[in-house]
Amino acid sequence: MKINSLFKAGLATLILASSSNVFAIEAKDVMQKSHDVKKPAFTMSAVQMDLFEKGGALQESRQLKQYGRDKNDLTSMVMVFLSPASVKDTRFLVSENPGDAADDKFIYMPSLKQTRRIATSDGSKSFVGTDASYDDMSSRDVNEDNHEFVNGEEAVEKNGYKCWVVKSTPKDPSSSQYLYRINYIDQNTNYPIYTEMYDKKGKLLKTLTLEKLEKKTGVTGVEYDIPMQEYMKNVQSGHATRLKIVNIKLDSAIPDRVFTQNFLSTGK
């Protein structure tokens, strides 16, 4: 998924007229660094997904397998639901495309015994009953948004991280379900630690919190910063979803066939 950060504010006199352009370039650069953060070539994860009712009571706990691939600077991800029975064998694929082209998204629904493409018009719909939409499961190119710093060059402490804060507004309003997003980007790792998503009326709709970011070493000996636990809350409904990686293996090759529609349909 693509995200990033912010910067600076006024200087004086002659440069004031051009300052907004300077800030936009700098904010975009920070956002680009966040998008380009070093990723493993492959990931295999066991994931627990917990759904919470308004008030915080556990509604349902799910178990998944997740496969990731970073190839030619393009990311693909497959999720396979293992339990409970209501979602067992549901499989989802998202593949990043070059440039501003929308990602390809497909889902296999065992009840229908067929794989279907997620249409652009379905992007704002809930992903398998979670608080994430299909668009939230996808990447967004940095060039699709205008980026501006919220607090200038002053760092903000957020959840123990020293962050830049950037507001990202779609250049084409119809390209996003959100009016804008505000991202808190860790200055050390370039990861988004906290994101606020605002609806078309400008009201806060959802928040995404990175609860655990850990250093993990792949089978080739390369170390990465890996998000291990994330929590998304719909602040308007009170419902929430938490994703927790229980086990992960990095840089162990995964066959290309896993990242195909045929795999979604057959599971092999």
pLDDT, averaged across the chain: 90
Q: Are strands 161-170 and 180-186 parallel, antiparallel or unpaired?
A: antiparallel
Question: How does pLDDT run across 169-213, given as a tens digit for each residue?
Answer: 999 999 999 999 999 999 999 999 999 999 999 999 999 999 999
Cα–Cα dist 256/234, whole Å: 35
Is the distance from CB of 20 to CB of 11 less than 8 angstroms?
no
Mean pLDDT, residues 243-260 taken together = 98
Mean pLDDT, residues 249-266 taken together = 97
Q: Which amino acid is it at 182? A: I
Cα–Cα dist 39/226, whole Å: 9
pLDDT classification of 21: cutoffs 50, 70, 90: very low
**Per-residue pLDDT at 99:** 78
Is the distance from CB of 6 to CB of 187 less than 8 angstroms?
no
Higher-scoring residue by pLDDT: 212, 21: 212
**Per-residue pLDDT at 199:** 98
Helix (H, G, I), strand (E, B) or coil at 178: coil
Among the listed residues 254, 243, 49, 29, the one whose alpha carbon sits nearest the alpha carbon of residue 148: 29
State yes or no: cis peptide before 170, omega within 30 of 0: no
pLDDT classification of 12: cutoffs 50, 70, 90: very low
**Per-residue pLDDT at 172:** 95
pLDDT classification of 138: cutoffs 50, 70, 90: confident
Beta-bridge mates of residue 145: 170
**Per-residue pLDDT at 8:** 29
Cα–Cα dist 47/79, whole Å: 9
Residue 80 has pLDDT above 90, yes or no: yes
